[in-house]
Chain A
């Protein structure tokens, strides 16, 4: 394995280890997202057809907002001295971006997979798409959102308004991802093809990957 991938996997492993110990995503963000899914029906008339119509929009809204929280979690943010140390140790900033994206993607995919049964349980949408057929869209969505979260997190590192500013920067740019993933889900539910929407997700992910790689070094200067 090359030095680059060793570094990237090392960053991902460290992030997941810290997450496992702190439980910020699993213990706080995930239950908070589940609570949001539970609260929405209480603000409606409770009509079964209305809830079925709301299922997909609520799901995507919750995964976007709480996904951003997950990607920007405090436990995945280094302080300035920690960043300086990583630079001195020779950590490739691109490897850091890739590693952080990997760990955030896994957590985001986990968030989505936990929220789907909750939405089905509380909103009873019809028809329910086969999980295997929507998995590629969910994976591409998670990777894209993770890259966007990593970029927004690095752009706002050290700022007092980071918690509000980073999602504000990322959310409008996440729209192609939400569109691609949500339309894939609809197409699968209706038995249509998902090639166009998969291509949109792949193109967005590629654009974000290029942005992440190109800006990794200037962003490293920002944080140090």
Chain B
């Protein structure tokens, strides 16, 4: 049931997100380019969430050794890498008209996000390189816990290093954004959250099938054939 409803919900939410993003007012300084914000920021937040889920599920695996946690951790990391790639790409196409450059090496947020991307690419590479299921789960769980340190570093990089990126716009004590823009942003964050959930459920299901296939392939030849019973029981 969930596997059918969630993709439909995600599609509807994304259409709603697109509508509010296009109908929100243009920025005084940035004009229509500000609309990239609704995808860029939503993807960045979802990437943080995805890597947070990876870390939590990794801890879950280390404590309980249940395969389900490993599947969630790996699936969430894959989706997080996808969201981070979209964040980097949209940031670059936003940066060119506004800052005059696709990439600024002095900007701490850009550099730290790219590093986070590479750390999680390494996480995925480690999983691919480890054939044994339990060893793969253990190694990636350890890396999943270590790698999550990058998330607060990326988030607070604009506070720690005052560079090209603006500071935190939305804080517990103040929001430096027009209400219509904030609504559009929150709708898009919600839409991408549903998309994340739909992708996670689908990827976890796929991971379960992949594992079942691995187990099937590992079974020795002829193990499915049972010997004929020559005697009948009493």
Contacts and interface: CB of A to CB of B under 8 A. Distances in A.
A21 interface: no
Contacts of A160: 129
A42 interface: no
Interface in B146-165: 146-147, 149
Interface in A167-224: 168-169, 171-173, 175, 207, 211, 215, 218-219, 221-222
11 contacts: A151-B146, A155-B139, A156-B129, A161-B125, A168-B118, A172-B118, A172-B122, A175-B115, A215-B142, A218-B62, A222-B142
Interface in B118-144: 118-119, 121-122, 125-126, 129-130, 135, 138-139, 141-143
A138 to B, nearest CB: 23
B138 A165 contact: no
Contact of A155 (B116, B119, B143, B149): B143
Given A172-B115, A172-B118, A207-B149, A218 B126 contact: no
Contacts of A173: 119, 146-147
Q: Interface size bucket, A side?
A: 20 to 34
Nearest to A211: B146
Given A168-B121, A172-B122, A222-B139, 5 more contacts: A161-B125, A169-B126, A207-B149, A218-B141, A222-B142
Interface of B: 62, 111, 115-116, 118-119, 121-122, 125-126, 129-130, 135, 138-139, 141-143, 145-147, 149
Given A168-B122, A169-B122, A222 B129 contact: no
A165 to B, nearest CB: 5
A167 to B, nearest CB: 10
Given A215-B146, A218-B142, A172 B126 contact: no
Contacts of A151: 146
A222 B136 CA distance: 9
A1 interface: no
A91 B64 CA distance: 26
A222 B146 contact: no
A156 B115 CA distance: 20
A39 interface: no
B115 A155 contact: no
Contact of A156 (B62, B116, B126): B126
Nearest to B149: A207
A88 interface: no
A127 B129 CA distance: 45
Contacts of B143: 155, 169
A137 B62 CA distance: 35
Nearest to B123: A169
Contacts of B139: 155-156, 222
A165 B125 contact: yes
Contacts of B122: 165, 168-169, 172
Contacts of A161: 125, 129
B138 A168 contact: no
Contacts of A221: 138
B146 A168 contact: no
Contact of B130 (A159, A169, A218): A159
Given A155-B143, A173-B119, A175-B115, A222 B126 contact: no
